[in-house]
Every structure is written in structure tokens, then in C-alpha cells.
């Protein structure tokens, strides 16, 4: 692979944030592999990207399956950038958070990031060059009602990002996290719909209730998250390691 070319892996590549990240990094000239479970959405993403002349390849993989991840990574060759973006979010009071919901959040949001990072990091260290970026959430820094499983899984992601950063310190590899508040994605739209259903509010009123605590007074756009990821994945960020870049207008107190 030429020095100017990079191979990038983006998990959760066909979702709202993932799609923006894929297009942003491919637009920088990178060869991007978009990972996920939904073959239809991944195929549509690949067709759209290639229609724009971008080098994007989709791969279907259960990222919580250790053997499947190891097999996938073996087939990819040298990977320079890993973006751990796969995720899910469902809300429930703690007393109604069943073990299955708890474990599904941990597997999807944290275990997938652990398996991919563990598999790809040795190659980056061997080449003394690489970027690992975790797309976490402001929930990685704070707690809120009805989000025990989601919040715990995002805390786990941020903890993993920082632990990896400690291991790679002093090398050409970095590990950082991006922590946005609510982003305008289908996942957030689902949250708005659930709020509207539970409270009897209209969708616009429900969305306003979701973001009223944010100084921005609006949802974050996926492209804003992608811009942060693009920076942390760039050569210009080679001195940034173990950091959490929060995108919320200044609302999170750490």
C-alpha cells in the first residue's frame, strides 16, 4: 500500500453516523470498509459511494462474534484506521432493564469495539502507525434516567479507548473517543417516537424535550461527528491520544 493510501474500517457503517463517517473518510481518499449486519443497507451504501467515485466496500459481519471478527480482519490486510461506531440504544427504567437488554447493549456497543481493536491493533503497532477512534456518547461521561444499559456500555467504550491509549502511548498509534449528544439519526428518531408514544406529545414537542438540556438547542448533525472523527484519524492528530472530544455545545461537566 502506498504511503498516501490508507485502509479504513468503520463498524456500524450503514447507520446515520456511520454513513457520514464512511463518506467523509472516503472523500479524503481512503479505502473504506463499512461493516454491519444489514446486508441491504450496506449494499445501498456501497452503490451510492461508488456512484460518487469513492472506494467503499461493505462487509456483513456479526461484530460480537469473536471468530467472525477474527476471520474478517484476516481478510482485510493492513488497516490504518479503525472507527468503532457500531451501537444501539434502548431506554428503560432500571427495574425493567432485563438481563438480555443489558447484555445486548454491552455486546453491541462495547464488545464489538473490543474485538475489532484487539484484532487490528497489533498490526498498527508493528507498523508504528495507526488511528483508533471510538464513537461513544455524552452518556460516557454522565448518567441519566432510564438509560442504565446504554450508559454503562458507553462508559465501557470510553474506558476501553483510554486503556488502549495508555498501551500505545509513545508509539505512532493513537486511541481517542468522540462523544456527541443526541445526533439526528434513525436511532434518535426512534427515541423521539418512543417519547411521543409514552407521553402523548407530538413528535416535534418530543424532540424539543430530548434536546432542551443541550446548550445548542438542537440535534447534532451526523456530519459534525464525522468531521471530528476525520480529524482524530488524520496525521495532524498524531499528538492527540487518550482524549474524549465532546460535541454538545458545552453541556457535559466532567
pLDDT confidence band for 216 (50 / 70 / 90) = confident
Assigned fold of 7-180+222-246: Rossmann fold (3.40.50)
Higher pLDDT among residues 150 and 191, named by residue = 150
Residue 2, pLDDT score: 40
Query: Over the chain, what is the mean pLDDT?
Result: 90
Q: Quick check: helix, strand or coil at residue 186?
A: helix
In this predicted structure, the answer to whether residue 79 has a pLDDT above a threshold of 50 is yes
| Distance (Å, whole) CA 80 – CA 94 | 39
pLDDT > 90? residue 73: yes
Q: Mean of the pLDDT values across residues 167-173?
A: 98
Does residue 12 surpass a pLDDT of 90?
A: yes
Q: Please give the pLDDT value at position 70.
A: 97
Contacts of 196 (CB under 8 A, 6+ apart): 202, 203, 205, 206
How many CB atoms neighbour CB 98 within 10 A? 10
Res 191: pLDDT: 59
Which grid coordinates are listed for 116? 475489532
Q: Does the pLDDT at position 155 exceed 80? A: yes
Catalytic residues: 150
CATH 3.40.50.720 residue ranges for the chain: 7-180+222-246
- CB neighbourhood size of 99 (10 A): 8
CA distances for 248 relative to 20, 81, 100, 217, 219, angstroms: 18, 25, 30, 9, 9
Residue 58 has pLDDT above 70, yes or no: yes
The band of 186, judged by pLDDT with boundaries at 50, 70 and 90, is low
Residue 64 has pLDDT above 90, yes or no: yes
pLDDT at 108 over 90: yes
CB-based burial label for 96 (10 Å; 0-12, 13-18, 19+): exposed
**Residue of 128 and 185 predicted with greater confidence:** 128
The set of cell numbers assigned to 157 is: 467504550
Those residues with Cβ within 8 angstroms of residue 112's Cβ, 6 or more apart along the chain or in another chain: 11, 63, 64, 69, 84, 86
Do residues 14 and 41 touch, judged by C-beta distance below 8 A?
A: yes
pLDDT confidence of 187, banded at 50, 70, 90? low
Of residues 38 and 205, more confidently modeled? 38
pLDDT classification of 3: cutoffs 50, 70, 90: very low
Average pLDDT on 35-57 reads: 97
> Using a CB cutoff of 8 Å and minimum separation of 24, what contacts does 102-107 make?
102/148, 102/149, 102/152, 104/149, 105/149, 105/150, 105/152, 105/153, 106/149, 106/152, 106/153, 106/156, 107/64
Checking if the pLDDT of 194 tops 80, the result is no
Question: What's the CA gap between 180 and 225, in Å, rounded?
Answer: 7
Share above pLDDT 70 across residues of the chain, in percent, rounded to a whole number: 86
pLDDT for 14-26, tens place per residue?
Answer: 989 999 999 999 9
Amino acid at each position: 500500500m502506498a504511503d498516501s493510501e490508507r485502509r479504513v474500517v468503520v463498524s456500524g457503517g450503514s447507520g446515520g453516523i456511520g454513513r457520514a463517517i464512511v463518506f467523509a473518510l472516503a472523500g479524503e481518499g481512503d479505502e473504506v470498509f463499512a461493516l454491519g449486519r444489514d446486508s441491504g443497507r450496506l449494499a445501498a451504501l456501497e452503490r451510492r459511494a461508488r456512484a460518487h467515485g469513492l472506494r467503499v466496500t461493505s462487509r456483513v459481519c456479526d461484530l460480537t462474534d469473536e471468530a467472525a471478527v477474527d476471520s474478517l480482519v484476516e481478510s482485510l490486510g493492513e488497516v490504518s484506521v479503525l472507527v468503532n461506531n457500531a451501537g444501539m440504544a434502548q431506554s428503560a427504567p432500571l427495574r425493567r432493564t432485563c438481563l438480555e437488554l443489558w447484555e445486548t447493549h454491552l455486546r453491541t456497543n462495547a464488545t464489538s469495539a473490543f474485538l475489532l481493536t484487539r484484532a487490528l491493533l497489533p498490526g498498527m503497532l508493528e507498523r508504528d502507525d495507526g488511528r483508533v477512534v471510538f464513537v461513544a456518547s455524552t452518556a460516557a461521561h454522565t448518567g441519566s434516567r432510564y438509560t442504565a444499559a446504554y450508559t454503562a456500555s458507553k462508559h465501557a467504550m470510553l474506558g476501553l479507548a483510554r486503556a488502549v491509549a495508555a498501551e500505545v502511548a509513545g508509539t505512532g498509534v493513537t486511541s481517542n473517543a468522540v462523544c456527541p449528544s443526541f445526533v439526528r439519526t434513525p436511532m434518535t428518531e426512534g427515541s423521539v417516537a418512543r417519547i411521543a408514544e409514552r407521553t402523548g406529545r407530538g413528535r416535534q414537542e418530543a424532540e424539543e424535550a430530548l434536546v432542551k438540556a443541550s446548550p445548542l438547542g438542537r440535534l447534532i448533525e451526523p456530519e459534525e461527528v464525522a468531521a471530528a472523527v476525520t480529524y482524530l484519524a488524520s496525521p495532524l492528530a498524531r499528538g492527540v491520544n487518550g482524549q474524549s472530544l465532546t460535541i454538545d455545545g458545552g453541556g457535559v461537566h466532567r
